[in-house]
């Protein structure tokens, strides 16, 4: 199979990898490209895509009171309906980074 030469072709290969469900190693072997090259272009495509994501949207938050403040948990409901619960004292920065990663 011929190897891509232009950046547009490599972005297409990176998109094919993303849709393949394969590991990067499996995909590179099947496609006949160097693993490090594939990794580099997948990284570039993801960076380019995230830079076009636009501004961060803030979502409404509902704070429910509890009878036992010490047992209160932080719960985040994702758009798909999944619920993430964090114990009291969980680092809010960690939660924010996790939500950012899940949003990709």
pLDDT (tens digit per residue) in 9-60: 888 999 899 889 899 999 999 999 999 999 999 999 888 877 766 677 777 8
Residue 74 is given by DSSP the state E
pLDDT at 65: 67
Q: Do 8 and 14 contact (CB within 8 A), yes or no?
A: no
Residue 86 is given by DSSP the state E
> How many domains is the chain partitioned into structurally?
2
Q: 47 and 74: one domain? A: no
Q: 73 and 44: one domain? A: no
Over pLDDT 70: what percentage of the chain?
A: 83
pLDDT at 50: 73
Sign of the torsion formed by the C-alpha atoms of 12, 14, 18 and 19: positive
Is 58 part of a structural domain of the chain? no
Q: List all residues 6 or more positions away from 56 whose beta carbon is below 8 Å from its beta carbon.
A: none
Is 11 part of a structural domain of the chain? yes
């Amino acid at each position: 199979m011929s190897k891509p030469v232009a950046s547009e072709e490599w972005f297409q290969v990176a998109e094919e990898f993303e849709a393949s469900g394969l590991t990067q190693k499996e995909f590179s072997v099947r496609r006949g490209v160097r693993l490090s090259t594939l990794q580099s272009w997948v990284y570039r495509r993801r960076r380019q895509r995230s830079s076009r994501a636009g501004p961060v949207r803030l979502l409404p938050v509902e704070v429910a009171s509890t009878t036992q403040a010490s047992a209160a948990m932080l719960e985040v409901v994702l758009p798909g309906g999944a619920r993430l619960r964090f114990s009291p004292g969980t680092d809010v920065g960690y939660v924010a980074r996790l939500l950012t990663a899940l949003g990709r």
